[in-house]
Structure 1
Amino acid sequence: MNLLLNPKQYRDRNYPDERSKEIMLKTIEWFENKGLAAQKEAYHNREFCNDFKEFVTKEGFFETLFLPKGYGSDPNQYYSTYRLYEFSEICGFYGSGYWYTFHVSHLGLIPVLLGDNEEAKHRAARILKENPLCAFGLSEQEHGADIYSTETMLYPQGDGTYVARGRKYYIGNGNVANIISVFGKFADTGEYVFFLVDSQHPRFECVKNIIDFNQQFVAEFILHDYPITEADILSRGQKAWDDMLNTINICKFNIGSGSTGVATHAFYEALNHAYHRIIYGKRVTDFPHIRRLFMDSWLRLIAMKLFGLRATDYMRMANENDKRYLLYNPLMKMKVSTEAERTIEQLFDIIAAKGFEKDTYFEQAAVEIKGYPKLEGTRHVNMALVAKLIPSYMFMPQPFEEFGRITDNRNDDFLFRQGPTRGYAKTRFHDYNIAYNSVSHLPNVKIFMEQIEAFKEYLMVSGQDLAKQMEDFDYLLGVGELFTLIPYGQLIIESAKIEGVKDEVMNQLFDLFIRDFSAYAVNLYGKYQNTDAQLEKIMKMIKRPVPNREEFEKVLQEEVYSLVDVYRQNP
């Protein structure tokens, strides 16, 4: 079993059409033909990836990937989170500069597609053919995540037109995008608005690239009485506000898949290096601490991939009566990306100084991976969202129809009609015990279930006081880290059944999760806000996995070390 992306042994993900597979294969071919040396030269020279822009423009990939049914030139067009997942992972696998241009283009186009302006949607589809790089003009330097305080304004001119004035900050692709969705307010009413601008317009000033550590162009720009007509206005009022939040809901999913790609490439490079390096007469991969580090990093990668695939299914299944994706999506952004960062830190402990060498992929991965958890809402913001769902997830299960892996050519319609963002805490979930009971014969799953029960007891003794305690973000993070492992494990179990993952792999995976859960419990135990009743329940969460050296050795040799030399990027 190798669930991990391997461009040299591309696994057909059962796409229903040849175009989807063609996109993945041609993208892999383009990167491999470019080669690692040229890629690293561009990275060190901080070159904006114009060659990638030219490639995706020629091939029309973003048109196929981004546009829902009814737009674009392909009669078989459909919007699929499933194929976006893999394209995002491939881009991340080769470099965050490429992934970022893809990601912010996705962000920039979605407000157009969510909006009320039908002509703007077709206009954007036409522009994509000439320049597929888009931008999302949301944040401002003075306000950061405080979108309520945005100062960019549309000033009415008395003839039905407007001029836009304002400054936006931290805007990826702001140097080249012809489609920039800008969030602001009407100056006369204070009503929210989304409108379109073009970076090449004479009233648009690209001030500078505000970063200087890789290939990305993250712009500061100013609108100097930029002329706006009704044809440029995408949405107004509450609809504009909802479209802003729903755009982030849709696109932050890319962060998990992109970071999975980064960590996977780093894993292959670290494994190849360690296996072929002899120290004190032994292979580095034979040292006991290295064996544990490789096992844990591989298990984290497998968990990230399994969760991502299953979360994709929930994104595609979403409808008015099934909004479970509202939990799994922030986990994809927050949990998966932090697990990727943690994985690379473990791999760095293995390869040590090698990880600083400028000719390796690892050198850039170690830097770039730190950015993923900080995008589209910090860990704190996403954990605050997740924490609102603890009561409904843990205590109010509802029946839902079961479904498997969704790889067909359905259009993910509901993502474009999510509607108002209120009522988040009322989201309902199916019983997580269904998944856990299906593998409760595994010793470490059984212990993990005991930890879940102890967490549930902690919630019960906490009562209404917990909401007050979690107003302190430090305490909220402590509780949230424990909670997120439960739905994370649930979706991994569901996905593992679909992918045919072996029991011994799952048992070793939950060995890791028990240790993680225990560490999070120790962290929560140290918080001053805890009552004596809470401390008693937290202590019950601290457990030891059931050790199985024979199983550990089997998985290490047959699954982890079997990946030695299966992938090296073309030089």
Structure 2
Amino acid sequence: MTHSTAPLNPREPDFSTFDATTRRLFDVTIDFFESRGKAWLKQQDRDRVWYSDFLDLVKRERIFAILLTPATEADGDPDKRWDTARNAMYSQILGFYGMQYWYVWQVTILGLGPIWQSSNTAARRKAAQLLESGEIFAFGLSEQEHGADVYSTDMVLDPDGQGGYRATGSKYYIGNGNLAGMVSVFGRRSDKPIIDSSDIERYRPEEDFEGYMFFAADSQHKAYKLRKNVVDAQMYVAALDLEDYPVQQEDVLHEGKSAFHAAINTVNIGKFNLGFGAVGACEHAMHEAIGHAENRILFGQRVTEFPQIRRMTAEAYVRLVGMKLYSERAIDYMRSASPGDRRYLLFNAIEKMNVTREGEKIVTLLSDTIAARAFENDMYFNMALLGVTGLPRLEGTVHVNMALSLKFLQNYMFRPTDAGQAALSKLPIGRAPRPAMAALSKGARGVSSIAAATLPGQATPLPEVPVRRDSSDDVFLFNQGPSRGLGKVRFADWRPILREHATIPNVAVFLQQADALQSLLAAAAPTDEQQKDVDFLFCIGEMFTLLPYAQLILEQAGIEGTSADVLDQLFEVLVTDMSRHATTLHCKATATPAQRKRALDLLRQPVGDSDRLDRVVADLRALAGAYEMNP
């Protein structure tokens, strides 16, 4: 098995692409959990024990300090950098052992986002020092009344007449809010305007941002009132109030438009890790499920030999392979991003949205495989069941990320920067839909004008994205710039990679579906009313996002040499998924006759191959006994 087809095995981990210091941090983390064992892991989870011993490890080994300090704040330490590849791997390791451990890491990443983007050198220096001393961080964006709606906030800062402010308001669902050394808090000045959330279509670029502010708060300050933990778990997810909290100029991280963009760009950085947490959880669940099913005899057969179990485990396995292949390649796009190449914004949204939902599907398939065993108290599995359910619903819901993804549809589907543009001019073009999605995510826009699809693509092709596992600092992530202009993000043509792999039967079928989707969008575009119907647009989005998902899977498969059998089995699943979404569109009461007819063009029967299935299942069954967590 290649790196991305084999689940992580802590007994024989392959960290060869990382430097010596990074490998050591990964190894000591694995040893921390394995030396304590599964019984300890489960007991800590059941008793909701604050993970101070894990944080002692973080402090002692300087794990967060090394992994989460950009080189600009490293004070000459050659091991410190913000390296998306190793951070993603660490997310995967922590997800493997429990989402609570992943969560304290994840929320620290979010809390650091506004700080590392800030021009406040004193705050940056302080954050680096706190990391070095083993502290954790928090991201004070969401509120009980507004959720993570960045347009609205009731955290109000009143000028104190001496150059500072007094902050009053509540924040809700703030991970690490109990002990964070610095809490990056989003609020608004009482004396300056912000966007009117009741009239978000009226947009004044400068004036509407003037009142926003990000500032750093100390969770131990007497004016910082910790109310409760809003979840029943090991992690502390705080409800908190600031009551006349003093904010000095040295505490201010961002003002005006910069604060607004820092909120969006921090989530762009942080949400990428959710897919890797899901991968880790699914890998551990896979080891447990296959080990149990292979060794359980019912009616004279191993459970793994039953036809329905063969189908379910094979599907779970290749879905996991797809998650890993996509995620590995998405790392390269994140690390290669620049002001002129913002493709990562689409791939990032899909990492958060599609990959985490794949995790839910996998754990459900595996739980159907092992039934009641999934709920027994000596299994990691039930921790995975709960953990992967939360991931699609954190750092912006699936709904928000689908709305975001739809902003890229026109350029991705119809305006590639390289070869293939000429073929588009032959497509019939339907009516041009208008901007939408405001009802879902204030100020968002949906499918843009498809009537522009036949316009020439950008003259300059985008560069090829190399494999990025080099030991360098991903500085662009803290200098992403304005969060607007997503409709101008350019993409290379997605057809060549599908055609390159079209010798694989189900990739060829998927390519037919992709062509049919393009024709549907061009000839039967959403009407004006449908543009206002978020539920309708989501059905379009489900089909659309399968294309970039498939693109990156195949790109990484080519890099790693993934077997044709595994890819064929995986694309059998993706063809079925696309047909299912097309059926949903066909059955939509709000679909036009033309859309219903065109939707049927996407229905394809995947190519079945019993011999190929036998080989994939044999590979999967070989995993049984490869890893079991120390008791």
Contact in 1 for aligned 2:21/2:79 (Cα 8 Å): no
Contact in 2 for aligned 1:274/1:350 (Cα 8 Å): yes
Residue 447 of structure 2 is matched in structure 1 by none
Give the distance between the partners of 1:562 and 1:105, measured in 2 at CA. 38
- Any gaps of 5 or more consecutive residues in structure 2? 194-210, 418-460
Give the distance between the partners of 2:253 and 2:528, measured in 1 at CA. 38
1:7 is the counterpart of 2:34: no
Residue 518 of structure 2 is matched in structure 1 by 456
Residue 205 of structure 1 is matched in structure 2 by 225
- 1:468 deviates by 4.2
Change (3 A) 1:403 1:146: closer
Residue 482 of structure 1 is matched in structure 2 by 543
Residue 74 of structure 2 is matched in structure 1 by 72
- 1:132 deviates by 2.7
Q: Which amino acid aligns with 1:569?
A: M
Among candidates 343, 350, 353, match of residue 334 of structure 1: 353
Q: Which amino acid aligns with 2:78?
A: P
Moved more, 45-54 or 286-295: 45-54
1:564 is the counterpart of 2:631: no
Among candidates 34, 38, 41, match of residue 39 of structure 1: 41
Give the distance between the partners of 1:146 and 1:487, measured in 2 at CA. 27
- 1:539 deviates by 0.3
- 1:470 deviates by 3.9
The equivalences for 1:307-326 within 5 A come to 307-326=326-345
Give the distance between the partners of 1:415 and 1:466, measured in 2 at CA. 37
Name the SS of the counterpart of 1:353 in structure 2.
Answer: helix
- 1:481 deviates by 0.9
Give the distance between the partners of 2:621 and 2:175, measured in 1 at CA. 39
* Root mean square deviation, CA, Å: 1.2
What's the CA shift string for 1:22-58, capped at 9, x where partnerless? 1111111111112110010010001121111111111
Q: How many residues align?
A: 567
The equivalences for 1:50-61 within 5 A come to 50-61=52-63
- 1:467 deviates by 6.2
1:520 is the counterpart of 2:576: no
TM-score normalised by length of structure 1: 0.98
Contact in 1 for aligned 2:62/2:134 (Cα 8 Å): no
What's the CA shift string for 1:264-308, capped at 9, x where partnerless? 111110100111111111110000000011100000000000000
Name the SS of the counterpart of 2:538 in structure 1.
Answer: helix
Among candidates 225, 247, 269, match of residue 288 of structure 2: 269
Contact in 2 for aligned 1:72/1:126 (Cα 8 Å): no
- 1:130 deviates by 2.3
Give the distance between the partners of 2:574 and 2:363, measured in 1 at CA. 18
Contact in 2 for aligned 1:404/1:498 (Cα 8 Å): no
Give the distance between the partners of 1:168 and 1:347, measured in 2 at CA. 37
Residue 174 of structure 1 is matched in structure 2 by 177
Residue 375 of structure 2 is matched in structure 1 by 356
Name the SS of the counterpart of 1:143 in structure 2.
Answer: coil
Among candidates 446, 456, 470, match of residue 408 of structure 1: 470
The equivalences for 1:118-197 within 5 A come to 118-190=121-193, 191-197=211-217
Give the distance between the partners of 1:211 and 1:283, measured in 2 at CA. 40
Contact in 1 for aligned 2:143/2:172 (Cα 8 Å): yes
- 1:201 deviates by 1.1
Q: Which amino acid aligns with 2:503?
A: H
Give the distance between the partners of 2:265 and 2:133, measured in 1 at CA. 27
What's the CA shift string for 1:408-433, capped at 9, x where partnerless? 01211211111011101111100001
- 1:404 deviates by 2.9
What's the CA shift string for 1:472-524, capped at 9, x where partnerless? 22112211111111100000000011111011211111111111111111112
1:258 is the counterpart of 2:277: yes
Contact in 1 for aligned 2:227/2:239 (Cα 8 Å): yes
Residue 196 of structure 2 is matched in structure 1 by none
Give the distance between the partners of 1:239 and 1:403, measured in 2 at CA. 29
- 1:84 deviates by 0.6
Q: Which amino acid aligns with 1:307?
A: Y
Residue 300 of structure 1 is matched in structure 2 by 319
Contact in 1 for aligned 2:150/2:263 (Cα 8 Å): no
- Any gaps of 5 or more consecutive residues in structure 1? none
- 1:366 deviates by 0.8
Give the distance between the partners of 1:142 and 1:546, measured in 2 at CA. 49
Give the distance between the partners of 1:408 and 1:144, measured in 2 at CA. 37
Contact in 2 for aligned 1:192/1:238 (Cα 8 Å): yes
Give the distance between the partners of 1:129 and 1:203, measured in 2 at CA. 26
- 1:168 deviates by 0.5
Give the distance between the partners of 1:148 and 1:555, measured in 2 at CA. 48
1:365 is the counterpart of 2:384: yes
Give the distance between the partners of 2:497 and 2:259, measured in 1 at CA. 38
Name the SS of the counterpart of 2:253 in structure 1.
Answer: strand
Residue 446 of structure 1 is matched in structure 2 by 508
Give the distance between the partners of 1:119 and 1:549, measured in 2 at CA. 64
- 1:82 deviates by 0.3
Among candidates 409, 422, 435, match of residue 484 of structure 2: 422
Contact in 2 for aligned 1:166/1:223 (Cα 8 Å): yes
Residue 472 of structure 1 is matched in structure 2 by 533
Contact in 2 for aligned 1:32/1:569 (Cα 8 Å): yes
Contact in 1 for aligned 2:587/2:596 (Cα 8 Å): no
Among candidates 217, 235, 238, match of residue 216 of structure 1: 235
Give the distance between the partners of 1:47 and 1:477, measured in 2 at CA. 40
- 1:379 deviates by 0.7
Give the distance between the partners of 1:432 and 1:102, measured in 2 at CA. 34
Name the SS of the counterpart of 2:601 in structure 1.
Answer: helix
1:433 is the counterpart of 2:495: yes
Change (3 A) 1:382 1:161: same
Among candidates 551, 555, 560, match of residue 499 of structure 1: 560
Change (3 A) 1:282 1:76: closer
What's the CA shift string for 1:398-453, capped at 9, x where partnerless? 12222332110121121111101110111110000121111011111111100011
- 1:528 deviates by 1.3
TM-score normalised by length of structure 2: 0.88
Give the distance between the partners of 1:40 and 1:365, measured in 2 at CA. 12
Give the distance between the partners of 2:100 and 2:79, measured in 1 at CA. 30
Give the distance between the partners of 2:20 and 2:528, measured in 1 at CA. 51
Change (3 A) 1:131 1:188: farther
Name the SS of the counterpart of 1:318 in structure 2.
Answer: coil
Q: Which amino acid aligns with 1:477?
A: F
Give the distance between the partners of 1:353 and 1:476, measured in 2 at CA. 38
Contact in 1 for aligned 2:84/2:335 (Cα 8 Å): yes
Name the SS of the counterpart of 1:177 in structure 2.
Answer: coil
- Percent identity (aligned): 42
What's the CA shift string for 1:224-276, capped at 9, x where partnerless? 11111111000100000000000000110010000111111111101001111
Contact in 1 for aligned 2:157/2:189 (Cα 8 Å): yes
Q: Which amino acid aligns with 1:196?
A: A
Name the SS of the counterpart of 1:167 in structure 2.
Answer: strand
